[in-house]
Structure 1
Amino acid sequence: MAKAKPVTDKDRERVRELHAQGKGRNEIAGLLGRSGRTISEIAKGLGLSFARAAEVRQATEIRQADLADRRAALAQRLQDVAERELEKVHQPHTYWDWGGKDHDFDTYEAPEPTPADKRALLGVVATAVDRSLKLAPPKEEGGADKVGSLLTSLFDQLRDRHGDH
């Protein structure tokens, strides 16, 4: 087993400088080619500490708040998708066809989507709302149940009105 090289005053001064720059124990160890334990011993002798629990906790809280903001923004975008797709259920819909012996392209406008296409649109709406609620659940108690029952009621009414084809 190789003997550890002795710690010099230059090593101590370098640890003090790097610590003052905010570098961590492992980073200093890598820069100086020393073990983390050696750096800890040098720092202890200099009265320095690498304990940064408060900084780590604050950084974690900031990261969690940022993620919560991003989830809320994504939930809003999903709600926008749900509303946009729901509007299409009773709007004119353009259908197209490509075929025939001459490979003709043809389109026609229907007053509303077919029942199958409405069902597909409502599936997109349901998925978008469900994911939105998972990303940003309502704050009030029972809110998710109320929204879920509202959607169930809406889908039941649409199915009754348009039939389940």
Structure 2
Amino acid sequence: MARGRPVDDETRERVREAIRAGDPRNTIARKFGLSGSTVSSIAKRAGLSFDRSAVAAATKARSVDLAAGRTRLAEKMLAASEDMLDRIDDPYLVFSFGGKENAYNEHTLASAPVDVRRNVITTAGIVFDKLTRIVEKDNGGLEQAVGVLDQIADGFKAAAEKYRSETVDEPVGD
């Protein structure tokens, strides 16, 4: 680096030409063995500035890509959560391996046990919370997001009503 040393007129002119050509500041600094601040100072004295439109466009494109990624992830989370809630009342297979022979045993229950049902509903609640946060971060597609959240809320309501009716009907053991 040439810090502290004066920059000769020929180098200053070549730096100005590189700035006019649209080269990035740090690339110019490396090319001429100068600090970034020296290149900025030469540009300022010459009334030149660095074109940041490419950086701004790249930043905007990255933001769009991240928003699209959040939307894809939200859709996957929603689909998995809905699938679990939809299958909560389906027959439920329980199994084990055991004994001296390590035998496989299975039994099909009418529906998932209470602890599994609780886990499904808890998972769906977490998904709901995460989707809400994603929607809060993303200002675009608000109507679509509200529709998704309404669907989730309806699913929770139906699952909760079904869960309540089943727990009320269950006999209490002695």
Cα deviation, residue 80, structure 1: 0.4
Cα deviation, residue 34, structure 1: 0.8
Matches within 5 A, 1:82-121: 82-121=81-120
Q: Residue 49 of structure 2 aligns to which amino acid in structure 1?
A: S
Over 3 Å counting, the alpha-carbon distance change for 1:96 and 1:61 in structure 2 is same
Tell me, in whole angstroms, the C-alpha distance in 2 between the residues paired with 1:6 and 1:43: 13
Tell me, in whole angstroms, the C-alpha distance in 1 between the residues paired with 2:153 and 2:4: 72
Three-state SS of the structure 2 residue aligned to 1:50 is coil
Tell me, in whole angstroms, the C-alpha distance in 2 between the residues paired with 1:39 and 1:64: 30
Matches within 5 A, 1:1-165: 4-10=5-11, 12-13=13-14, 16-17=17-18, 20=21, 22-44=22-44, 47-50=47-50, 52=52, 54-136=53-135, 139=142, 143=146, 150=154, 153-163=157-167
Tell me, in whole angstroms, the C-alpha distance in 2 between the residues paired with 1:92 and 1:159: 15
Over 3 Å counting, the alpha-carbon distance change for 1:3 and 1:118 in structure 2 is closer
Displaced runs of 4+ in structure 1, greater than 6 A? none
User: What TM-score, normalized to structure 1?
Assistant: 0.74
Q: Residue 6 of structure 1 aligns to which amino acid in structure 2?
A: V
Tell me, in whole angstroms, the C-alpha distance in 2 between the residues paired with 1:19 and 1:105: 76
Tell me, in whole angstroms, the C-alpha distance in 1 between the residues paired with 2:74 and 2:108: 33
User: What TM-score, normalized to structure 2?
Assistant: 0.71
Cα deviation, residue 55, structure 1: 4.7
% identity of equivalent residues: 24
Tell me, in whole angstroms, the C-alpha distance in 1 between the residues paired with 2:152 and 2:86: 19
Three-state SS of the structure 2 residue aligned to 1:163 is helix
Over 3 Å counting, the alpha-carbon distance change for 1:35 and 1:86 in structure 2 is same
Number of paired residues?
A: 160
Aligned partners of 2:18 and 2:28 also within 8 Å: no
